[in-house]
Structure 1
């Protein structure tokens, strides 16, 4: 019996790690494949924004409900449902021949990821009831998740180079099927007899509000901020999100207990996490475009070019936890925010022909800065959360991060897309193209995704194709300068706000960080667990 039990523990750990590995890999593997997706599906840059946000938006919105469903109706059941949906969604993405098909697959992936993410650690809590064993299992689990995030861009580059962009999705299918075969006979079923009820009104309102907000942000680059559609979407987003707060304040078991935001450190740390996340993914998204479309690198070469970011995060994330435990959470967040902000300001000097030797160390700085911030912010959230609600606090932190990632692509992407046509016009006028013709070319190129390969449809031009390409490259990089500047200022604000809002005595802070549950990419599970035979 003990041998069987031990076998189940090992299999549960393997299954949970494989599920988490797929999700974390998918978060980062797609970035380097975006230019290939754009060329293959003939989509605009806003279409690429949706390729990211269709996944992260659904994941963020459903993360809390996914855990509640598992608690009420069976964690194994919803882990398997999530695994199946994620695998099916990956296959749909791989077979996609149109953008709408790809986005549908990404939504299915997001639904599956929400169920997988929130139930993986719950399964480990059941399989490893002893504190020491559980800590070791969670350490391996989170370590593998970190590896997946770090190597994702490189794996994405290799797979895209070998088998084009569908390969990055198809790779999930055999992993998902293997995990499913291991999980079905081996995972124990468990429920929480005291699980919260499903807050359906709150869930519907938060999905509707976030969807309207993100749609308005992304589509404003083409429709314009004064468009009736954009104004209507913004108004609807405000109505839905205000209604969400109204409902959450009155229901008995809310999706998001608003009382937690009465805790100053909890609110401040979540706000800083949101801003930090908003300032981080967008730059990586456009650096992938820069290395491939502007500098002409292959997908694999572009993956290697962005590797210093992952190395910086991987090296400093463990150090950040130790610094927080010794000096309190404020120091690493302030230092990390300043380092990351400086790296973004340095990137405003980027040019189309910048040699890599002048860029790699700046990308390493960005990774170091981000790595120093994230773990202490998680510790701050968890240390400020009442112990009986630690699992919920962790879930809110991770959902908040996903919302930030979604807004990062939407907000920073919109900044680039709105600057791009203006910069193209300026570059063309500077090369002797008449103003009216320059504006017409700028709007056509921007609508086509900014790719010079579409310039054949522009008709006879008074400049050579080479000069047009140079103008487009410079216009794109000038647009990136604005985005890098805003991202840097946003994260500088994180450092300043952390210094002001996370003020505690060192003794209090060190004690809270030491007592806080381990910060992970997925929600921690602290609940009454009953195992079914």
Structure 2
């Protein structure tokens, strides 16, 4: 295959990453406008974000397996088509309920994009050096999307309206579809694992039940029969999931992974950091446009330090992990997230813009430092044929974290969402204290996972999970 064709394939895969990553910031900037235009309740606004992240979390691992089984190009094209149709439906939604339903469809398509695109890249770029370069470009697109999302979103919202933030996905999806059809060869996995539909279903019930309880509890009342019933159903689904997966030969989630302290703590860190991240993006958009009265464009500009953090410190964190291990990056990330959350407790209606920019910069740098060590810790000591599955669990955990973070906004700072106005910052303060705890938890988990005991637990895991030949190639 020629170098030019490989470059075009990488470009088409990166287009899918661009729209999925940009969605995280661009929709959050549009939340105040959506709430006003569609007369949405606080709970409904939370569902606009959480229905997307929950579906994404629920289907990521299944989408990767489906691509291996049915063909990566076919599944990738299906994902692009569904994402485009979902985006179009979002832009045309006449009610908040229709918007939430359209976001569901958009997420189904989105779940088929990044895991399958990464699989395509791994099949096309087979040499270690060229694969490393391709993944470096892939990582750089995340920073670019974080930079473009808030600014482009703010400009579109101020000049055209919030519906236009979904239109931007359509030409990108169309370009990716054409390039994929022309340049990307079809490929399938030679060996395929069975699909664990029961385990998948139980996991989805648990995730949706937990988030539903957190979002609807403050609205309906924590003692409401529907809230209590959903919470009980989520707990039962979780227990059933553990029991079923522990007995299955080829489980949806191999519970033995959690015997590795680095893997278990990587999952905790992913949920913790991304919960703080989800809460931060959601609440700060409402604060800036609600309490402060800034325009969507002004809000997008204040978000810009996050992008600078991603562009500069994400690759720096990767180099630190490669040279010194995961501890420096994890500890730095946790400390900075906790520091930024502490700075947020001092917010009020007159906080100067320079202070806001500092908060966004500190939070952005801390968050940018977390991804590389999480992925590294998750696969450390894993047999090579299970490293992909371990990495997929942390990717899922990231989306679960965002869902929980947004749900906590209503549970902990519900009065801020309900009233807005000049008391917003004060009502949101308990949420920032929780984010401080989440940041400190990342620090503690980072120290534990990189301790001598943690590293020994990872080394003991591989012999428990043998490949078919009884050999144990391990990720170092």
> Over residues 288-328 of structure 1, what are the superposed CA-to-partner deviations in whole Å (9 max), with x where a residue is unaligned?
11111111111000111222233233322222222223332
- The residue that corresponds to 1:473 in the other structure is 422
| 1:245 matched to 2:214 | no
Q: Alpha-carbon deviation of 1:128?
A: 2.1
Structural mapping, 1:338-487, within 5 Å:
338-417=335-414, 419-420=415-416, 449-450=418-419, 472-474=421-423, 476-487=424-435
Query: 8 Å contact 2:210–2:234 — kept in the other structure?
Result: yes
Match 2:192 to one of 186, 192, 195:
195
| CA–CA distance in structure 2, aligned partners of residues 247 and 253 of structure 1 | 11
Match of 1:465 in 2: none
SS at match of 2:341: helix
Counterpart CA distance in 2 for 1:323 and 1:131 is 20
Q: How far apart in 1 are the matches of 2:8 and 2:369?
A: 33
| Cα distance change on mapping 1:505 and 1:247 into 2, 3 Å | closer
Please say if residues 266 and 384 of structure 1, whose CA atoms lie closer than 8 Å, have aligned partners that are also in contact: no
Contact 1:268 1:502 in 2 (8 A): no
TM-score (normalizing by structure 2)? 0.92
Other-structure match for 1:428: none
Q: How does 1:320-339 map to 2 (within 5 A)?
A: 320-339=317-336
Q: Which has the larger radius of gyration?
A: 1
Match of 2:443 in 1: 495
Counterpart in 1 of 2:27? 30
Query: Aligned partners of 1:497, 1:145: CA distance in 2, in Å?
Result: 25
User: Structure 1 residues 62-71 or 306-315, which shifts more?
Assistant: 306-315
Q: Give the ranges of 4+ consecutive aligned residues of structure 1 lying more than 6 Å apart after TM superposition.
A: none
Q: 1:385 to 1:350 in 2, by over 3 A?
A: same
Is the Cα contact below 8 Å between 1:345 and 1:485 reproduced in 2? yes
CA distances 1:107-156 after superposition (whole Å, capped 9, x unpaired): 11111111112110111122222222222222212211331133312221
Matched, 1:128 2:77: no
Find the partner of 1:222 among 202, 219, 241.
219
Q: CA–CA distance in 2 between the matches of 1:306 and 1:178?
A: 28
Question: Superposed, which structure 2 residues align to 1:237-316 within 5 Å?
Answer: 237-316=234-313
Q: 2:94 is paired with a residue of what secondary structure?
A: coil
Residue equivalent to 2:173: 176
Match of 1:108 among 105, 109, 113: 105
> 3-state SS of the aligned residue for 2:37?
helix
- Three-state SS of the structure 2 residue aligned to 1:202 is helix
Deviation of 1:254 after TM superposition, in Å, equals 1.3
Counterpart mapping for 1:514-525 below 5 A: none
Unaligned runs of 5+ in 2: 460-472
In structure 1, the residue matched to 2:138 is 141
The question of 1:67 aligning with 2:64 is answered yes
Partner residue, 1:504: 452
TM-score by length of 1: 0.82
Distance 1:125 1:330 in 2: 28
Residue of structure 2 in register with 1:50 after alignment: 47
Q: CA deviation at 1:281?
A: 1.6
